Amino acid sequence: GPMPIEEAVRVAKQIAEAVEAAHDKGVVHRDLKPANVNITPDGNVKVLDFGLAKALVGDPMSGDAADHDLSLSPTLTQAMTGLGVLLGTAGYMSPEQARGKPVDRRADIWAFGCIVYEMLTGQRLFTGETATDVIGAVVHKEPDLDELSSKVPPQIRRLLDRCLQKDVNRRLQSIGDARIALQEW
């Protein structure tokens, strides 16, 4: 079921801090999902498994030619690393990642939004019978924030809306901004 709002915000803030630290070092996780988030017995959040991470060349937001190499594109399994194979977990892939397009830190912001949504609702944002169905939902279905409890504060709803914009240019541009919004709440 859903986590209490205060606990979800505390966990989300720590996830944002961890992702921000990676982004500050030029690393995009590309497989951010609940299974890669661990809460220690003392309540500290650890983001794990950077196995599909991508080190960005130059400006992480540039989309330069190095980022267009399909061999560096996102994936479903590490064993399937052929040209044009998708890397990541279907339900948490950003639309651009699900389409096999180049990704930057905004793909992690999308996945962060999916995780926060799941913490607040107790259900996945995108589902389907197969991975293909899930990817289709990510690409074609709009996130339904009406599933959030009426107790979720408007500023958290706005943050989720910004994280879950399908158009990368309308999506929140920095996970640090998410961290600040969560701290201010």
Q: Which residues are catalytic?
A: 31
What are the tokens at 173? Answer: 């541009």
Query: What residues contact residue 51 under an 8 Å CB cut-off, 6+ apart?
Result: 31, 78
In 3D, which of 122, 104, 73, 91 has the Cα closest to residue 171?
104
> CA-CA distance, 116 to 12, in Å (whole number)?
6
Query: Cβ of 127: how many Cβ atoms within 10 Å?
Result: 12
Give the CA distances from residue 145 to residues 24, 41, 75, 125, in Å, rounded to whole numbers and listed in that order. 29, 31, 27, 9
